Chains A and B, each alone.
Chain A
Amino acid sequence: SSELTQDPSVSVALGQTVRLTCQGDSLRRYYASWYLQRPGQAPVLVIYGDNHRPLGIAGRFSASNSGDTSSLTITGALAEDEGDYYCSSRDPVENHYVFGSGTTVTVL
C-alpha cells in the first residue's frame, strides 16, 4: 500500500519542541518529503531526502527515519510555524506518488 498516515492535529507551546510523524510502507524504501502549507498559501518544501533543508528553511526543522515512519521535528516552535504539514513519498512498486492526509500544527 502507498498510503501515508499522519495525525490530524497537534499543538505546541511557543518555543517548545514538537514531533510530527508519517507512517507508510513506502517509507521502508524511500525517504519522505515534508511540506508546510500556511493558510491561503501554496505548500513550501521544508525537508527532503535524508534530513536535507532547502535554502531559506530554518534549522529548527529536522527529520529522522526509522522503519516505516518518518518524523519531522520542530525545535523551538515559532508562531510562523503554524499551518498544515504534509508528508509525501513514492509508491514502492508503481511509478506514482502520494501525500499524507496532513497534520495541523497550532502554536499556543
Chain B
Amino acid sequence: QLRVSGPRLVRPPATLSLTCTVSGGSVSSPSDFWAWIRQPPGKGLEWLGTIYYTGSASYNPSLNARLSMSIDTSRSQFSLGLTSVSAADTAVYYCARHIVVPAALMFYLDDWSQGALVTVSS
C-alpha cells in the first residue's frame, strides 16, 4: 500500500515536496522501482520520474531541470521535489510501484496510491 503525504498548498515559486510511504512491502526490493505520476485537473497522466533503491533515478526530460527524487530505505519512503512551481504544476500527484523488466520488454505500474491534489497558488 502506498500513501502520499506533504503540503497540499504551495506558494509560487516555492518547492513542492511530497513523500510516498510504502507499507506492507519494502522500497529496498531489488525487483522494484518507484515512480511519481501527476494529473492536472481535467487532463491526462504525466510520468514524472522513477527511482531505484540505490538512489539511481530517471526524470521526465521536460521537467528534468526542476525535478529531484530521493529514497529512504530505512523508512520505506521515497520523495519528490519540484522547484520553482507555478500554477501549471497544480495537479493530482500519485506515487506507484514501477515494475521494470527490460529483458521481457515490459514496464508497468502495478500499485498506485490514492491521489493527492496539490494546488499552487499565491
Chain A interface residues (CB < 8 Å from chain B)? 29-31, 33, 35, 37, 42-45, 48-50, 54, 84, 86, 88-90, 94-102
**Does the CB pair B109–A45 fall under 8 Å?**
yes
- Also in contact, A97 and B105, with CB within 8 A (given A42-B112, A43-B112): no
With contacts A35-B109, A42-B114, A90-B107 known, what are 17 further pairs, Cβ within 8 A?
A31-B105, A33-B108, A33-B109, A37-B45, A42-B113, A42-B115, A45-B108, A45-B109, A48-B108, A48-B110, A88-B109, A96-B61, A97-B35, A97-B50, A99-B45, A99-B46, A102-B44
**Does the CB pair A88–B105 fall under 8 Å?**
no
Give Cα A100 to B99, complex, Å. Answer: 18
Residue tally, chain B, CB below 8 Å to A: 25
Chain B interface residues (CB < 8 Å from chain A)? 35, 37, 44-47, 50, 58-61, 94, 99, 101, 104-110, 112-115
Which has the most chain A C-beta neighbours within 10 Å: B59, B101, B107? B107
Give Cα A100 to B43, complex, Å. Answer: 11
